[in-house]
Structure 1
Amino acid sequence: MDLLNLFQNHLKLSINDMTKLSGIPKTSVHRMIGSLEQMGFLCKDEDGQYTLGLLFLQFGNLVAERLDIRNISLQVMEKLRDDIGEAVHLVLRDGEETMYIEKLDTHHPVRLFTKIGKKAPLYAGASSRTILAFMPQEEREAYLESVVLKPIGCGTMTDKDKLRASLERSQRDGYSFSRSELENYTAELSVPIFDHTGQAIAALSIAGLEVRFDEEHMPELITKIKAAAHEISSKLGYNGHSY
């Protein structure tokens, strides 16, 4: 594993490179490389340089196919819900909309009515805007050029300049916040979830009555939801810096 881990930061390595970088005696490196090459974990090119073998691609595809983001996220979402006492949502993109694929209700007697399968346009609500903000730039701009912004709640953004400014803030700050955009008198705070390639593939959000998201509590909520999203992203193979 010490030898294989070297290839996380190096595309190709010679035996001398691996000996120097690992600190393992050259005779041991030579012996281990022979075994790794025989099993298909390493491949030697015509210049005597080693690269990771195609076996890693096969394993990688299997892992990717078997990952279930709902199962991976659920335990983290439960901890977050119990900690902050607000509803927690997991949201994915579905074309030009987003869809709630998991929801944990708050224990408050007064709560939001949202359900798994609920959809929202990409421009409305914190979760949707998080996904829109972290989409590839060309794809995001093509959407913004073509979409017609229609009001849903009393706080829905219907001005494209304001929407673009909000998306820039989301990219800069690492979170999105909305008030009364999908449902009046409610608020939502959302952050992106990244996969092993660094691509934002989902949004994690907390939502509740607007009065419970006051300025005094926002810094703490932002810190906690970012930590939860980073934990989920790490489970998906993301190795970037904390949010």
Structure 2
Amino acid sequence: MSEQDEGRKGALDRGLSILNHLADAREASTAELAAAADISRSAAYRIVEKLSTYDFLHATSDGRWRLGPAAARLAMAAVHSADVADVAPELLRVLVQQTRETVSLGVLSGDEMVFIYRERGPQSVSVNAELGARRPLHATSVGKAYLCGLDPRERTDLLRALALTPFTPQTLTTTSALEADLAKAHSRGWTEEHGEFDLASACCGAPIFDHTGRVVAAISVAGLKDRVEPAMNRLGPLAVATADAISRRLGYNPAPTNVHLRPT
């Protein structure tokens, strides 16, 4: 990049490019940062020196750069100020546009899920639930998604305490059947519900995690059974991608080998 081009690209832009690159790469040389920010090495050197002065960057013993304590403080402040009810709606509205189905966000309350956000799609649904509506963990995709996101020990304890009330002939009413269903969900990557709460409905779901790795909520995509069931393999990955995006906004940063649902 020429000096003239670098002049057009503000110092703040260049500094943010370097910080963003290190957030992904974890560590880089000055030359690598220059390439990532599309600036000269001399410009990169001046920026990293200034950032290190304010503790946004830290030099390793071999002369490479990592994010410093000031960057960590900013990151933690952002994470702790994030709330799922604040960050999720924008992404859930996109999911409605992608699926044309009704999308819901639920959190655990006692041994049930409570809807705290709901965006109706243009296509019809069998049950019109309002905000604050409660749904069973074992008979809905949003509830199953929350169960899948729990630590195995927490999930086992919660399953033992659940009253597996039948809502339709399709409801899973034994712990073994529910555990088998959750294992299938883990294999495919998302949860499914086929007429288990309402015979005419079907839905898929995925859990949401916070910066500590704990499940804090779950989402579902729901519609008429005859329409949703044939589309599960398209809707499920969309639900997972949206839940993942919400989790990232809450500061969740899984290891590359992690799967979205916890092992059963």
Q: Same fold by TM (over 0.5)?
A: yes
2:29 aligned to 14, 18, 22, which one? Answer: 18
Counterpart of 1:40? Answer: 55
Counterpart of 1:226? Answer: 240
Query: CA RMSD, aligned part only?
Result: 3.6
Counterpart of 2:8? Answer: none
Note closer, same or farther for the CA distance 1:198–1:27 as it changes in structure 2 (3 Å cut). same
Note closer, same or farther for the CA distance 1:18–1:95 as it changes in structure 2 (3 Å cut). farther
1:214 pairs with 2:229: yes
Contact 2:125 2:222 in 1 (8 A): no
TM-score w.r.t. length of structure 2: 0.70
Contact 1:18 1:29 in 2 (8 A): no
1:88 pairs with 2:92: no
Contact 2:116 2:132 in 1 (8 A): yes
In 2: Cα distance, 1:20 partner to 1:109 partner: 56
In 2: Cα distance, 1:62 partner to 1:85 partner: 35
Shifted more, 110-119 versus 123-132: the winner is: 110-119
Q: Which runs of 5+ in 2 are unaligned?
A: 1-14
1:75 aligned to 90, 104, 116, which one? Answer: 90
TM-score w.r.t. length of structure 1: 0.75
2:173 aligned to 131, 144, 158, which one? Answer: 158
Counterpart of 2:130? Answer: 115
In 2: Cα distance, 1:63 partner to 1:206 partner: 28
In 2: Cα distance, 1:140 partner to 1:221 partner: 25
Number of residue pairs the alignment of both structures matches: 237
1:6 pairs with 2:6: no
Shifted more, 127-136 versus 197-206: the winner is: 197-206
Structure 1 residues 196-227: Cα deviation after superposition (integer angstroms, max 9, x where no partner): 56554322211123232233x33232343334
SS of 1:93's equivalent?
strand
Shifted more, 118-127 versus 217-226: the winner is: 217-226
1:54 pairs with 2:69: yes
The alpha-carbon deviation at position 144 of structure 1 amounts to 2.3
In 1: Cα distance, 2:83 partner to 2:252 partner: 15
Note closer, same or farther for the CA distance 1:21–1:199 as it changes in structure 2 (3 Å cut). farther
Counterpart of 2:198? Answer: 183
Q: Which runs of 5+ in 1 are unaligned?
A: none
SS of 1:103's equivalent?
strand
Contact 1:174 1:192 in 2 (8 A): no
Amino acid in structure 2 at the alignment position of 1:61: M
Contact 2:34 2:44 in 1 (8 A): no
In 2: Cα distance, 1:219 partner to 1:29 partner: 46
The alpha-carbon deviation at position 104 of structure 1 amounts to 1.5
In 1: Cα distance, 2:143 partner to 2:125 partner: 24
SS of 1:226's equivalent?
helix
Counterpart of 2:9? Answer: none
